[in-house]
């Protein structure tokens, strides 16, 4: 059963065809990786999922509802959360507040006005946030400002911010980019635990092959705006088209 | 931690209330204990609190907030002219009208952020100023300013005092009434108008506190911190920003109405860009994003404007009269450009010092001082020193320290 169905998506930036007839089908509760060399169109595709970019043509269906033209906050409200390539958190807020905000947005919707309600009365929200922070190992520091965190911890925090919303689909844009080997392994473990504990579908964009092959249930390989192969990891490794895309064995203009 | 925040807020509220109510006593030794100035402290305090809700929380810098002050003033004078000299309808009408005006301007301006938002609000305010100055003369009475006169209908109370122009009042209590008291060599003045303003200031401070501590306030701070992230977190940010913009405009309208209640005259200069700049200055000087900072900033700037500006060469000469003539003349030559009509020079100097050394405003200084005293106190007692969290809020283990005390309010 496909939770995310992408059909014939095109996106052109001036003279560059960034996405050229992209088709993708993500199975529910699986980890689906999208790989490909730089400039293959992976991030463009992801930006189309979350409403940052509008495709020129094609359809993107989530649980049989079209996502096209919806603003980012609406797409989040239907159950799609996103982790950014460089961690995007609220630097001037405490770690706990960072997680309470998505929890509130999940409970109250995109706009809910209660200007005189005291935050200290929101026990449920606070408990939810603290439980999630415990599971990513940030509970101790919850009253610190997010700006004081390391990059690896910011990534964890961002993950917690997504998880507290119980998303159906979690989009990860290069979750280990710029990380040390140890941090990368920690992130892999974290993602594995999350996918075992929660009923979440993942779409992971990644450069790091170790990450991809140790996590993914299914892999799509992109090159120059196309999805050239979509298959099980074992069949991807030796695939001639993939080698060609990465190593460029044949001359291309 | 949240529990202690609640307790600290309660304490802050009590200290603030007491300080405001005791202002005539506190301010008398500084020569600022006269009704006219104290009313200004309270009114511009309200103005700055409202501005801070917008700027301090969301980071949207409105450079046209004086427009709402002016609109509130005109609306209030019209109520005094048409209905009665009771200030209640004037205040309510002014708040409603300035709220609607803010809704209109905010709806357009909030489509942009940063410098473009500032320019848009500035443009709207200058437009309002010019309209009030010329085109809308039938409503605003142009550059003369709008005031009450004997021909006003005053539907509710014209009959009770025919042929007279009674001053604004609250159910018979005239705003200008002052009770004089001499106490330990100080002349204390307890003025009805000031206490009306003070009561409203305390209420407005409380509302601002509640907004700061609400989920709404937290979302507004998140807008300032990372609006993109907030949108991808499922929050529709623009309506939140618009709501706080309108609230902020209503605060300004309320301040404008109170100015009129104290002195029933509204002129277009109240909307000019310098007036908008002044409230930005007050908020940044006191500490944007803090609760008490804006009130503190308002008091300091109004104090400079009213007290420093009155010091003239003769007074300066008297200060140095004990010194030899040449030294005295030299000192007065250095000091006098910063006093009297040059009061803005010293204000500018202080503003620069604050921005450079205390970018968080004077409240940052207060917080640092309290933290330093707290550490001194703890190391004296050789207590177990639990590490203070690096939170922006003062650490929870400073229960002994009083919250930033609003001495100057």
| B3 interfaces chain A, CB cutoff of 8 Å | yes
pLDDT in tens, A144-165: 999 999 888 898 899 999 999 9
Instruction: Look at residues A231, A230, A182, A245 and name the one whose alpha carbon lies nearest to residue A210.
Output: A182
Q: Each residue of B12-64: pLDDT tens digit?
A: 999 999 999 999 999 988 888 889 999 999 999 999 999 999 999 999 999 99
Best B8, B229, B245 residue to mutate vs chain A (most A CBs within 10 Å) = B229
CB of A175 within 8 A of CB of A152?
A: no
Q: Do A114 and B230 make contact, defined as CB atoms within 8 angstroms? A: no
By Cβ distance, the residue of A93, A108, A143 closest to B1 is A143
Asked if residues A115 and A203 have their Cβ atoms less than 8 Å apart, the reply is: no
Angle at B204 between CA A108 and CA B97, to 5 degrees: 85
Q: Is B232 in Cβ contact with A73 (below 8 Å)?
A: yes
Answer yes or no: are the C-beta atoms of B5 and B393 closer than 8 Å.
yes
- What is the interface pTM, i.e. ipTM, of the complex? 0.90
DSSP conformation letters of B252-265: HHHHHHHHHHHS-E
- Per-residue pLDDT tens for A56-69? 999 999 998 999 99
Residue B387 contacts A where some CB pair is shorter than 8 Å: no
Chain B hits for A145, CB-CB cut-off 8 Å, are 390-392
Q: Is A118 on the interface with B (CB under 8 A)?
A: yes
Mutation site, B3, B204, B233, B391, interface A, largest A CB count within 10 A: B233
| CATH architecture entry for A2-93+167-247 | 3-Layer(aba) Sandwich (3.40)
Q: Classify residue B270 by its DSSP letter.
A: G
Whether B339 shows a pLDDT value over 60: the answer reads yes
Residue-wise pLDDT for B278-337, tens only, equals 999 999 999 999 999 999 999 999 998 888 888 777 777 777 777 788 887 888 787 777
Residue B38, min C-alpha distance to chain A (Å): 29
B234 to A105: CB separation less than 8 angstroms, yes or no: yes
CA distance A127 to chain B (A): 13
Kindly state whether B232 is in contact with chain A, defined as any CB-CB distance less than 8 angstroms: yes
Domain boundaries along the sequence of chain A:
2-93+167-247
pLDDT of A198 reads 82
CB contact under 8 A, A111 and B236: yes
Measure B207 CA to nearest chain A CA, in Å: 8
Judge: A101–B219 Cβ closer than 8 Å, yes or no: yes
The pLDDT tens digits of the residues spanning A161-190 come to 999 999 999 999 888 877 788 888 888 888
Find the residue in B nearest to A101 (Cα): B219
pTM: 0.89
Give the gap in angstroms from C-alpha A87 to the nearest C-alpha of chain B.
10
DSSP string, A149-167: S-HHHHHHHHHHHHHTT--
Cβ within 8 Å, pair A117-B221? no
Query: CB-based contact (8 Å) between B211 and chain A?
Result: yes
Angle subtended at Cα A222 by Cα A218 and Cα A226, rounded to the nearest 5 degrees: 120
How close B245 gets to chain A, by Cα (Å)?
13
Whether the CB-CB separation of B289 and B218 falls below 8 Å is answered with: no
User: Edge-to-edge, what's the strand order for the sheet holding A2-13?
Assistant: A16-27, A2-13, A57-62, A65-66
């Amino acid at each position: 059963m496909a939770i995310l169905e992408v059909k014939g998506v095109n996106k052109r930036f001036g003279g560059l065809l960034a996405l050229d007839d992209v088709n993708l089908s993500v199975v529910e509760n699986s980890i689906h990786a999208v790989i490909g060399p730089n400039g293959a169109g992976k991030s463009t595709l992801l930006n189309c999922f979350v409403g940052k970019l509008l495709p020129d043509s094609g359809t993107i269906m989530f649980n049989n509802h079209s996502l096209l033209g919806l603003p980012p906050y609406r797409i989040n409200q239907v159950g799609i959360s996103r982790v950014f390539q460089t961690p995007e958190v609220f630097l001037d807020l405490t770690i706990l507040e960072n997680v309470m905000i998505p929890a509130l947005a999940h409970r109250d919707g995109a706009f809910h006005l209660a200007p005189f309600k005291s935050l200290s009365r929101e026990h449920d929200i606070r408990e939810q946030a603290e439980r999630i922070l415990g599971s990513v190992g940030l509970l101790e520091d919850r009253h610190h400002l997010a700006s004081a965190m390391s990059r690896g911890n910011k990534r964890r925090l961002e993950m917690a911010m997504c998880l507290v919303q119980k998303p159906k689909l979690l989009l990860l844009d290069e979750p280990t980019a710029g990380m040390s080997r140890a941090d990368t392994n920690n992130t892999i473990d974290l993602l594995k635990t999350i996918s075992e504990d929660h009923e979440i579908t993942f779409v992971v964009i990644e450069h790091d092959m170790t990450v991809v092959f140790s996590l993914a249930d299914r892999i799509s390989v992109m090159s120059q705006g196309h999805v050239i192969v979509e298959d099980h990891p074992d069949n991807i490794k030796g695939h001639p088209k993939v080698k060609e895309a990465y190593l460029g064995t044949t001359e291309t203009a | 931690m949240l529990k202690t925040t609640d307790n600290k807020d309660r304490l802050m509220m009590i200290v603030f209330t007491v300080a405001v109510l005791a202002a005539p006593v506190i301010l008398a030794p500084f020569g600022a204990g006269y009704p006219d100035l104290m009313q200004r402290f309270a009114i511009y305090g309200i103005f700055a609190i409202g501005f801070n809700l917008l700027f301090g929380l969301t980071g949207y810098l409105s450079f046209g907030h004086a427009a709402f002050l002016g609109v509130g003033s005109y609306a209030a004078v019209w109520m005094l002219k048409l209905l009665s000299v009771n200030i209640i309808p004037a205040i309510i009408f002014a708040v409603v009208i300035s709220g609607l005006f803010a809704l209109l301007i905010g709806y357009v301006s909030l489509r942009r952020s940063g410098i473009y938002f500032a320019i848009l609000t500035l443009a709207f305010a200058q437009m309002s100023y010019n309209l009030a100055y010329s085109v809308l003369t039938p409503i605003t009475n142009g550059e003369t300013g709008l005031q009450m006169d004997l021909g006003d209908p005053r539907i509710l109370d014209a009959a009770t005092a025919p042929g007279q122009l009674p001053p604004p009042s609250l159910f018979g209590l005239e705003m200008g009434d002052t009770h004089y008291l001499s106490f330990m060599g100080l002349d204390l003045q307890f003025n009805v108008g000031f206490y009306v303003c003070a009561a409203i200031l305390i209420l407005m401070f409380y509302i601002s506190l509640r907004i700061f501590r609400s989920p709404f306030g937290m979302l507004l701070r998140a807008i300032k911190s990372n609006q993109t992230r907030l949108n991808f977190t499922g929050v529709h940010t623009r309506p939140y920003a618009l709501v706080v913009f309108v609230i902020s405009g209503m605060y300004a309208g309320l301040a404008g109405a109170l100015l009129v209640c104290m002195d029933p005259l509204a002129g277009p200069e109240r909307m000019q860009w310098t007036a908008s700049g002044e409230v930005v200055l007050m908020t940044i000087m006191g500490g944007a994003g803090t609760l008490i900072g804006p009130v503190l900033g308002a008091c300091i700037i109004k104090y400079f404007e009213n007290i420093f500006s009155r010091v003239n060469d003769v007074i300066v000469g008297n200060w140095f009269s004990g010194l030899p003539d040449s030294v005295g003349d030299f000192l007065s030559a250095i000091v006098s450009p910063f006093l009297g009509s040059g009061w803005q020079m010293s204000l500018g100097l202080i503003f620069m010092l604050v921005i450079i050394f205390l970018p968080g405003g004077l409240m940052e200084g207060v917080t640092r001082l309290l933290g330093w005293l707290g550490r001194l106190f703890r190391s004296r007692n050789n207590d177990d020193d639990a590490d203070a969290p690096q939170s922006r809020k003062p650490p929870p283990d400073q229960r002994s320290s009083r919250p930033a005390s609003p001495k100057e309010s």
